[in-house]
Structure 1
Amino acid sequence: MAEPLRVCVVGCGRVSKSHLASMLEIPDKVEITAVVSSDPAKRMSFQKEYSAKKAYATLEQALKDPEIEAVDICLPNHIHEEATIKSAAAGKHVLVEKPMANTVQECEAMLKAADEAGVIFMVGQSRRYHDAVFESKKLLKEGKIGDLISITGLLFAYLENPPTAWWRSKAKTGGLMIPLWGNHIIDYILWMYDETPIRVFCEAHGNNSNWEGEDEVALLMGFNGNRSATIKMSWNTRLKEEGEWDGKGKMLSSADIIYERYIQGTSGTMHLGDETELKLNGNIVVQGAQVPGNFALQIGEFASAVRENREPLTSAKKVVDIIRIQEAALRSAETNKVVKV
Structure 2
Amino acid sequence: MKSLLIILCCLFFFNPTFSQEKPLRLGIAGLAHGHVGWILGREHQNDINMVGIFEQNKELAERLSKQYGFSMDIVYDSMEEMIKATKPNAVAAFGNIKEHLAVVEASAPKGIHVMVEKPLAVSLEDAKKIEALAKKHNVFVLTNYETSWYETNFKAKSLLDEGKIGGLRKAIIRDGHKGPKKIGVSKEFLEWLTDPELNGGGAIMDFGCYGANLMTWLMKGKKPKTVTAITQQLQPENNPNVDDDATIILNYDSAMAILEPSWNWPIGRKDMELYGETGALYSDNANQLRIRESTGYSSYTEETLFFKDRPIPYDDPFSVLAAVINGSLKLEPYGPYTLENNMITMEILQASVESSKSGKTIMLD
TM-score when normalising by structure 2? 0.80
Q: Which amino acid in structure 1 is aligned with residue 253 of structure 2?
A: N
| Structure 2 counterpart SS, 1:217 | strand
What percent of counterpart residues are identical? 17
Q: Which residue of the other structure, out of 205, 209, 213, is the alignment partner of 2:232?
A: 205
Flag the 1:104–1:233 CA change in 2: closer, same or farther, 3 A: closer
Give deviations 1:250-283, integer Å, cap 9, x for gaps.
xxxxxx3244321111122110113332111232
Q: Which residue of the other structure, out of 128, 135, 141, is the alignment partner of 1:115?
A: 135
Flag the 1:139–1:160 CA change in 2: closer, same or farther, 3 A: closer
CA RMSD of aligned residues (A): 2.4
Q: Is residue 181 of structure 1 aligned with residue 207 of structure 2?
A: yes
CA drift of 1:332 comes to 0.9
Instruction: Please give the alpha-carbon distance, in whole angstroms, between the structure 1 residues aligned to 2:23 and 2:177.
Output: 39
Q: What is the aligned partner in structure 1 of residue 299 from structure 2?
A: none
Q: Which residue of the other structure, out of 295, 303, 320, is the alignment partner of 2:322?
A: 303
Number of matched pairs: 320
After TM superposition, the structure 1 = structure 2 runs for residues 1-341 of structure 1, keeping only pairs within 5 Å, are 2-13=21-32, 14-22=34-42, 24=43, 27-44=45-62, 46-47=64-65, 49=68, 51=70, 54-65=74-85, 67-155=87-175, 157-159=177-179, 161=181, 163=185, 164-194=190-220, 195-207=222-234, 208-211=236-239, 212-225=241-254, 227-237=255-265, 239=266, 256-281=267-292, 282-287=302-307, 296-308=315-327, 312=331, 313=335, 314-341=337-364
Flag the 1:160–1:9 CA change in 2: closer, same or farther, 3 A: closer
CA drift of 1:35 comes to 2.1
Flag the 1:160–1:285 CA change in 2: closer, same or farther, 3 A: closer
Instruction: Please give the alpha-carbon distance, in whole angstroms, between the structure 1 residues aligned to 2:63 and 2:345.
Output: 34
Q: What is the aligned partner in structure 1 of residue 6 from structure 2?
A: none
Instruction: Please give the alpha-carbon distance, in whole angstroms, between the structure 2 residues aligned to 1:272 and 1:144.
Output: 14
Instruction: Say whether the 8 Å CA contact 1:44–1:55 is kept in structure 2.
Output: no
Query: Which has more radius of gyration?
Result: 2
Runs of at least 5 residues in structure 2 that lack an aligned partner in the other structure:
1-17, 293-301
Q: What is the aligned partner in structure 2 of residue 244 from structure 1?
A: none
Instruction: Please give the alpha-carbon distance, in whole angstroms, between the structure 2 residues aligned to 1:50 and 1:274.
Output: 32
Flag the 1:7–1:199 CA change in 2: closer, same or farther, 3 A: same
| Structure 2 counterpart SS, 1:64 | helix
Instruction: Say whether the 8 Å CA contact 1:85–1:114 is kept in structure 2.
Output: no
| Structure 2 counterpart SS, 1:161 | helix
CA drift of 1:28 comes to 2.5
CA drift of 1:326 comes to 0.5
Q: Which amino acid in structure 1 is aligned with residue 147 of structure 2?
A: R
Which is worse superposed, 285-294 or 28-37? Answer: 285-294
Q: Which amino acid in structure 2 is aligned with residue 11 of structure 1?
A: G
Instruction: Please give the alpha-carbon distance, in whole angstroms, between the structure 1 residues aligned to 2:341 and 2:175.
Output: 24
Instruction: Say whether the 8 Å CA contact 1:151–1:228 is kept in structure 2.
Output: yes
Instruction: Please give the alpha-carbon distance, in whole angstroms, between the structure 1 residues aligned to 2:179 and 2:65.
Output: 31
Instruction: Please give the alpha-carbon distance, in whole angstroms, between the structure 1 residues aligned to 2:212 and 2:90.
Output: 27
Give deviations 1:18-43, integer Å, cap 9, x for gaps.
23334x35x12211122222123443
Instruction: Please give the alpha-carbon distance, in whole angstroms, between the structure 1 residues aligned to 2:177 and 2:60.
Output: 29
CA drift of 1:233 comes to 3.4
Instruction: Say whether the 8 Å CA contact 2:286–2:309 is kept in structure 1.
Output: no
Instruction: Please give the alpha-carbon distance, in whole angstroms, between the structure 2 residues aligned to 1:183 and 1:109.
Output: 19
TM-score when normalising by structure 1? 0.85
CA drift of 1:76 comes to 0.3
Instruction: Please give the alpha-carbon distance, in whole angstroms, between the structure 2 residues aligned to 1:64 and 1:160.
Output: 35
CA drift of 1:58 comes to 2.0
Flag the 1:170–1:297 CA change in 2: closer, same or farther, 3 A: same
Instruction: Say whether the 8 Å CA contact 2:100–2:116 is kept in structure 1.
Output: yes
